[in-house]
């Protein structure tokens, strides 16, 4: 654990991940635009830097966990950014969900500086991150994967080495495409069931006994929206953002994804109706409310 670790981006996901690194013995220096988040890490022993360049100056490995492509590009490639201030032989690991073409540019920029680059976007939710149970999809050269694996082990329980740099984020987009679109069509199916006046319990018993079932409906929704819990694990706003990334990446790859375009419109309608900050399982509430249909809820015992 001799490597000095920098962590930039202490939001809902980054804060617990950085906390796990600090608690498990790594020397961590942090930065975030939110001073309260930095203060929380400082109280458990992390050092604080004034900006991203300050993190780079004292770190062998810099991890970024930021909300969007523009933020990642500014933090890593800006005039006062991380990469211009990193020494040769250092490593950057971006865990954000971003445009994969940006990931490719970051990897090239790191190589030009004599630095390594790893993309390791995160699966699962903030609650998993808090327990050190995140899932990582890692794009890295073999030697770079070996270098970052102890860090990933400190933050998660499931690590998939997907291939070279750039494969992690592309795997994440494929995964999120399936998860997010599932929420869109589940919402339509359950709104239809409610309009038909069917028993939700009987409908789900049938669906879960056939190939119509899916992980969102069977596992996530059963513990979230169908029990009346729409506190955000992954928001409708973030799902819309990811569908935008997916559609753009697919267009760049020459793969038509018309279902993504339709789903994105559905998520955008939910955002316009004021549901953007709710969990993405609340897509069914947004649709039912718009159509004045009774919300789909499992009967509580």
Q: Which residues are catalytic?
A: 172
**Of 201, 184, 175, 172, nearest to 296 (Cα)?**
201
How many other CB atoms are there within 10 angstroms of residue 245's CB atom? 22
Q: How far apart are CA 216 and CA 197, in angstroms?
A: 22
Dihedral class, residue 89 (left if φ above 0, else alpha if ψ from -120 to 50, else beta): left
Q: Which DSSP letter does residue 94 get? A: E
Q: How far apart are CA 115 and CA 128, in angstroms?
A: 30
Half-sphere exposure of 221 (CA within 13 A, CB side): 29
- CA 285 distance to own-chain centroid: 23
Residue 6 CB burial class (10 angstroms; 0-12, 13-18, ≥19) = buried
Q: How far apart are CA 4 and CA 81, in angstroms?
A: 18
Note whether 52 and 65 are within 8 A (CB). Answer: no
Residue with tokens 């056939």: 210
Note whether 270 and 301 are within 8 A (CB). Answer: no
Note whether 232 and 278 are within 8 A (CB). Answer: yes
């Amino acid at each position: 654990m001799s490597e000095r670790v920098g962590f930039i981006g202490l939001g809902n996901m980054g804060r617990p991940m950085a906390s796990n690194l600090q608690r498990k013995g790594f020397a961590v220096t942090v930065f975030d635009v939110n001073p309260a988040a930095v203060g929380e890490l400082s109280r458990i022993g992390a050092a604080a830097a004034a900006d991203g360049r300050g993190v780079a100056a004292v770190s062998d490995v810099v991890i970024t966990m930021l909300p969007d492509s523009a933020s990642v590009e500014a933090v890593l490639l800006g005039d006062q950014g991380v990469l211009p201030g990193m020494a040769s032989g250092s490593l950057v690991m971006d865990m954000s969900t971003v445009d994969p073409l940006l990931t490719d540019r970051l990897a090239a920029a790191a190589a030009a500086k004599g630095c390594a680059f790893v993309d390791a976007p995160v699966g699962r939710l903030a609650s998993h991150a808090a327990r050190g149970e995140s899932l990582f999809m890692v794009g890295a050269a073999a030697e770079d994967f070996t270098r970052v694996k102890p860090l990933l082990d400190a933050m998660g329980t499931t690590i998939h080495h997907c291939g070279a740099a750039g494969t992690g984020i592309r795997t994440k987009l494929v995964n999120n495409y399936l998860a997010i679109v599932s929420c869109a069509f589940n919402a339509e199916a359950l709104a239809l069931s409610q309009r038909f006046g069917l028993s939700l319990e009987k409908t789900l018993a049938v669906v879960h006994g056939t190939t119509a079932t899916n992980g969102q409906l069977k596992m996530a929704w059963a513990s979230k929206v169908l029990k009346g819990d729409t506190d955000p694990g992954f928001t409708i706003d973030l799902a819309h953002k990811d569908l935008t990334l997916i559609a753009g990446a697919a267009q760049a790859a020459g793969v038509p994804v018309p279902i993504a375009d339709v789903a994105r419109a559905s998520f955008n309608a939910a955002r316009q109706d004021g549901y953007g900050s709710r969990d993405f399982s609340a897509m069914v509430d947004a649709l039912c409310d718009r159509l004045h249909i009774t919300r789909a809820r499992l009967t509580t015992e």
